[in-house]
Structure 1
Amino acid sequence: MITLTLMLALYFLPTIVASHRGHNLGGILVLNFFFGWTGIGWMALLLWSLLADPPRWCVVPYGGTYIPYGAYTPYSPYGVWRRY
């Protein structure tokens, strides 16, 4: 039972890495489910989840809402941080 759990965790490792890095999981999860059994597909998905730049967020000091990085923020000249 432990072996099966470890094998499933290894199979879905690209999805797990992508979720921890803050990526959108829809594409990676579906492709991992259907093409993860191929070695090339699994390696490509792992590289995609590791090398793709995770989304950035900007913190607005007044109001505390989160808006996408690069959007016009008249009240936030400084508060930019990366989400990992």
Structure 2
Amino acid sequence: MEILLIPALLYFIPTLVALLRGHHNAFAIFLTNLLFGWTVIGWLITLIWSTTAIIHRVQVQN
């Protein structure tokens, strides 16, 4: 069982980074990682995407 856990964690590193950073597109990153992460370019794209800027909502006070 542990043999499969480590590769799965490595495979989903972009998703974990996005979730830990609170990325606003975390679900889209997860789906892209799930579907295209098996290709090296897909994995790299999701990793870069997960480290991009996060949109923070600004609350305007009256």
Q: Specify the alignment match of 1:43 in structure 2.
A: 44
- The structure in which a higher percent of residues are helix is 2
TM-score, normalising length from structure 2?
0.86
Aligned counterparts of 2:61 and 2:22: Cα–Cα separation in 1: 22
Give the number of the structure whose residues are more often strand, by fraction. 1
CA distance in 1, matches of 2:39, 2:19: 21
**Runs of at least 5 residues in structure 2 that lack an aligned partner in the other structure:** none
Q: What letter corresponds to residue 5 of structure 1 in structure 2?
A: L
Quick check: which has more Rg, 1 or 2?
1
1:25, distance to aligned residue in structure 2 (A): 1.8
Give the number of the structure with larger relative contact order, counting CA–CA contacts within 8 Å between residues 6 or more apart: 2
- Aligned equivalents of 1:21, 1:54: Cα separation in 2: 8
How many residues align structurally? 61
* Superposition CA RMSD, Å: 1.2
Identical residues among aligned pairs (%): 41
Amino acid at match of 2:11: Y
C-alpha separation between the residues in 2 aligned to 1:10 and 1:33?
A: 12
TM-score normalized by structure 1? 0.66
